Amino acid sequence: MENTVEKRPENKMGVMPVHRLLLSMSIPMMISMLVQAGYNVVDSVFVAQINENALTAVSLAFPIQILMIGVGVGTGVGLNAFLSKSLGEKKFDNVNKSAANGILLSWISCAVFMLVGFLASSAFFRTQTDIQEIIAYGRDYLSVICVFSFGIFNQVLFERLLISTGKTFYAMISQTVGAVINIILDPIMIFGLLGFPRWDVSGAAIATVIGQTAGAALAFYFNLRKNHEIKLSVKNFTLNGGIIKRIYAVGLPSIMMGSLGSVMTYGLNNILISFTPTAAAVFGVYFKLQSFIFMPVFGLNNGMVPIIAYNFGARKKERIVAAFKLALMYAVGIMLIGTGIFQVFPGRLLAMFNATEAMMSLGVPALRIISIHFLFAGFCVAFLSVFQALGNGMESLFLAGSRQLLFLLPTAWLLSLIGDVNLIWWAFPAAEAATMALGAFFIKRVYDDKIKTI
């Protein structure tokens, strides 16, 4: 692979004071992800006004959406780490070629999910329930989300290119615009306002893909006009085995983590719906609500990853350590706030989703129990991001896999055998505590191997 070293001004990730740099990189991403969380919640709030089966259908569709996001973000994470490291090393040929290859990989992923939307939507829901209304709602929703998945894949990829060079403000703008469009269109297309036909659950899906496509178009524009450190050229749009290998060395474990999240969600949905569809709806509501807590932490860590990757390429140990410590401190602080909200206001949170008395009875203790794990999760998310930034994708994969398949899902299944659905929620804090201990062990080993000797 050809590597060219050019003389260019030092990127801000190598010179700006770390605290100010982390905030400047992270705050735009945190804001945009909060908006993203908002439209995820609004989407379900409107769907819940149709009926509880509609809400359950959208909840049961979530594993496929997690998988789509996991594939898109995983490819972006691998691209982000390699591209930022190449910037730190001043290897600008790698920067441009990796950007083009990342875009091609995103398009291939989109094509795969389009086939899923055409061929497998109904079959997917029949594996979880025999309630025909839920199957019909789910098929209508998921087929639109998958067939028009080019919006989400392009949005994620082009935003990752902006993030990798420190242009997080533009990534925030593109994501926020897409989210706002979705929020505006949701009630119009679900309930048939302003002269539009009433599309029910399909309307929620249509609003989502329109918002994603708008965000992708804006992110593409920003890359062309504002991201001068990346040159998107037609000559680089050829699949390069060496670059793809480097991208997936970090990205594939991240994609597999997303896949594990999909398997975990699918498994828990099946465990819960065996008690009552309301339990699956509660789990879906939790997943929407927890995004308000986790999305800012993900935004924080999205800002941290290119900082650590860049300074690892530039061999600046003090900046790597400082960025990690600050990000960890903020992440745990956000999780503390989230835990307090879930403990004090579970009933008000559920009321936003038109919760029935049965849903309240199940949901209030569920939100209080599950939210205990937020405190441990702040550490775990920070650990995973450091592994990704340093190219230790296998540690990320093993840690996430242990949490979801070794700890969480088996614990939930064992607790379900007792016959009390409320006991299942305790699997979350138990799994997260175990994952935090395992992550601390890995982070010490990676520090000794890669950072200590710089």
**What are 161-177's pLDDT values in tens digits?**
888 787 878 988 998 89
CA-CA distance, 327 to 73, in Å (whole number)? 20
What are all long-range contacts of 94-98, with beta carbons under 8 Å and residues at least 24 apart? Answer: 94/1, 94/3, 94/243, 95/229, 95/230, 96/230, 96/231, 96/232, 96/233, 96/236, 97/236, 97/240, 97/243, 98/243, 98/246, 98/247
- Grade residue 81 by pLDDT with cuts at 50, 70 and 90: confident
pLDDT digits (tens, 9 = 90+) for 400-448: 788 888 899 999 999 999 999 999 999 999 999 999 999 999 989 988 8
Q: Is residue 41 over pLDDT 90?
A: no
pLDDT tens-digit profile of 348-373?
A: 999 989 888 999 999 999 999 999 99
Give alpha helix (H) positions in 89-199.
Answer: 92-119, 121-126, 132-147, 150-164, 168-191
pTM of the model: 0.77
Q: pLDDT value at position 15?
A: 67
Per residue in 212-241, pLDDT (tens digit) is: 999 999 999 999 898 888 887 777 788 888
Question: Has residue 302 got a pLDDT over 50?
Answer: yes
Q: Which of 30-44, 272-286, 384-398 has the highest mean pLDDT?
A: 272-286
Query: Which one has a higher pLDDT value, 25 or 195?
Result: 195
DSSP string, 84-104: HHHHHTTBHHHHHHHHHHHHH
Angle between the 241-273 and 374-389 helix axes, to the nearest 10 degrees?
160
229 vs 331 pLDDT, higher one: 331
Is the pLDDT reported for residue 129 higher than 50?
Answer: yes
